[in-house]
């Protein structure tokens, strides 16, 4: 049986999805609060920049993968207007339900689909934009997921991958201290779950760095790939254009 990583732990591939699901089932209700606390609110600026780079126009079609509590889906819906389409998806039902309820409370009703990014249930060339924010690192076969994202994009369409990445070297020791000492304690106090936030820190370290992810996206069919470091590389936005 093939192995993969769950944080620093080696697990069977088929077991990873179940364990990742358990993490997000546990934190769904506190996800937004914890995002604000652990990033000092910076995740909002990162997402705002992502929306700016998306440059969606009225009538465009966008797919938000691992859309969770709906931050990007809501922002995209405002850009594409009533003639466009935004599909809000996640593999985790608890996260998707939390996001759907939040969107409805904002007066926005979007197609909401539970789906696996490695086998997207959408036709080839359907979307102008595909986004995945803080979700790619949790996927077992990142290459397969990226190929699926490429498949459902129209030629010239854009993929945006917003993800935690490699910080600048002078900040590494401070970032490690925060990630492995402070973050789990914060998760325990606020969400009642230290282990899930310990996994979060480990999963960031196991995720491909900026240049490695750029190369992987090119290998998966994107003709032009660039990335933008944010907050000294704590997060990076990768932009891929389909040939």
Q: Which residues are annotated as a binding site?
A: 69, 90, 116-117
- Hey, how many other C-beta atoms are within 10 angstroms of the C-beta on 114? 13
Question: Where does residue 5 rank: exposed (0-12), middle (13-18), buried (19+ CB within 10 A)?
Answer: middle
Known binding-site residue numbers for S-adenosyl-L-methionine = 69, 90, 116-117
What's the residue count for the chain? Answer: 243
Paired residues of 162 in beta bridges: 133, 237
What per-residue string of b and e applies to 164-191 under the rule 16 or more CB within 10 Å gives b? Answer: bbbbeeeeeeebeeebeeebbebbeeeb
Rounded distance between C-alpha atoms, residue 117 and residue 232, angstroms: 29
Q: How far is 135 from 211, CA to CA, in rounded Å?
A: 18
């Amino acid at each position: 049986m093939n192995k993969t990583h769950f944080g620093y732990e080696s697990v069977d591939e088929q077991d990873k999805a179940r364990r990742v699901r358990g993490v997000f089932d546990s934190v769904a209700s506190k996800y937004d609060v914890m995002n604000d606390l652990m990033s000092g609110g910076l995740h909002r600026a990162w997402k705002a920049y992502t929306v700016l780079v998306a440059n969606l126009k009225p009538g465009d079609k966008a797919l938000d993968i691992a859309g969770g509590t709906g931050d990007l889906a809501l922002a995209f819906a405002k850009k594409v207007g009533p003639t466009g389409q935004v599909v809000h998806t996640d593999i985790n039902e608890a996260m998707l339900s939390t996001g759907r309820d939040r969107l409805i409370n904002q007066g926005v009703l979007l197609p909401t689909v539970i789906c696996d990014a490695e086998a997207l249930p959408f036709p080839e060339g359907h979307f102008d934009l595909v986004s995945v924010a803080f979700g790619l690192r949790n996927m077992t076969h990142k290459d397969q997921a990226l190929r699926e994202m490429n498949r459902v994009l129209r030629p010239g369409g854009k993929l945006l991958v917003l993800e935690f990445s490699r910080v600048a070297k002078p900040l590494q020791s401070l970032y490690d201290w925060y990630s492995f000492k402070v973050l789990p304690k914060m998760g325990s106090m606020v969400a009642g779950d230290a282990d899930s936030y310990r996994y979060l820190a480990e999963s960031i370290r196991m995720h491909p760095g900026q240049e490695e992810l750029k190369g992987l996206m090119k290998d998966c069919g994107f003709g032009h790939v660039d990335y933008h470091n944010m907050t000294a590389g704590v997060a990076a936005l990768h932009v891929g254009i389909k040939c």
